[in-house]
Amino acid sequence: MAAAVLRHCWRGLLQNSGNGAVCTVRSKILEGFRQKSTVQYISRPDHPKLAYRRVKGKSPGVVFLPGYGSNMSGQKAEALEGFCRSLGHAYLRFDYSGHGASEGVFSEGTIGTWKKDVLFMLDELAEGPQILVGSSMGGWLMLLAAIARPEKTKALVGISTAADHFVTAFKTLPIEVRKECEDKGVWTIPTKSNEEGMYTVSMDFLREAENHCILQSPIPITCPVRLIHGLKDEDVPWHISMQVAERVLSPDVDIIMRRHGQHRMAEKDDIKLIVYTIDDLIDKLTTMV
């Protein structure tokens, strides 16, 4: 009952409601957003240390997986921590090796490397059932983790999910462009999602990524899946989320398209939608229990 009241009041706070119930716990909710977890590090034998922030709390927990070249300090990651803290739910965010505050060399990373990072963090730090939230490449890793750890994954929220994207996008290039990239050993991808205005991906990275492609056959995921994508995403086409929805075996799949949404999905209304989606899944999973 208390959790339900807090959830109702949290929604009212975002909507600037004047409801009296909201006011009685407004300070509690705001406190959750003001507080911030501290950066910690976890060691692994023969592997780079990973930086993470964690809030302990009740189940289901929420794990945020950032995108390619991104980190755990973005607006979506910060907002989700405030939300989870305000409701008393566990929350974990971290940087893949070579990203953010974690050790490692970014250019040496692969989809396989970062998948192992995700599985390690799930095994070592995420207690009990989890809702995985993956942004862009993090959405691909989210799916791979759900396949590998079905017992721990209770729901998925994909944001601009980039499943197989590097591989399929490269294969759609004209053959002469692909040949030029192969000769140079790298593929330069224009983007509006970073300050450099481009990503540079090695051919070795692409070849390794092919081992983790999942859209050519049914995806053995049966938990609830929510896929949010912007129709104006210029980095990862929205039809990838449609493909994911068609391939997963789960009977409970929703696709939410944002008419003006872009790749980062970091506008205030985008984040509000993401949090509402997670909130509904927490309700659903709690009711099921």
Q: Cα–Cα distances in Å, from 35 out to 38, 78, 197, 206, 275?
A: 10, 10, 33, 40, 18
The answer to whether residue 233 is catalytic is yes
Q: Among 33-37, 162-166, 254-258, 263-267, where is mean pLDDT lowest? A: 33-37
List the domains of the chain with CATH numbers.
40-162+219-288 (3.40.50.1820)
Active-site residue, selected from the candidate residues 97, 136, 193, 241: 136
Strand (E) or helix (H) holding 65: strand 58-65
Question: Would you call 164 a catalytic residue per the annotation?
Answer: no
What residues contact residue 78 under an 8 Å CB cut-off, 6+ apart? 36
The two structure tokens encoding residue 244: 């994911």
Q: One of 95, 233, 235, 270 is an active-site residue; which one?
A: 233
Cβ–Cβ under 8 Å, residues 166 and 201: yes
Average per-residue pLDDT for the chain: 90
Nearest alpha carbon to residue 133 among 146, 142, 121? 142
pLDDT for the residue numbered 26: 43
Q: What is the pLDDT of residues 129-173, one digit of tens each?
A: 999 999 999 999 999 999 999 999 999 999 999 999 999 999 999
For residue 84, what are the contacts with CB-CB under 8 A and spacing of at least 6?
A: 55, 57, 61, 62, 90, 91
Residue 73's SS3 state is: coil
| pTM of structure | 0.89
Catalytic residue among 99, 165, 212, 263: 263
263 is a catalytic site residue: yes
User: For residues 76 and 274, is the Cβ–Cβ distance under 8 A?
Assistant: yes
- pLDDT reading at 15 higher than 70: no
Whether 120 and 265 have beta carbons less than 8 Å apart is answered as no
- Show the tokens assigned to 50: 């990973």
Q: What does DSSP assign to residue 37?
A: P
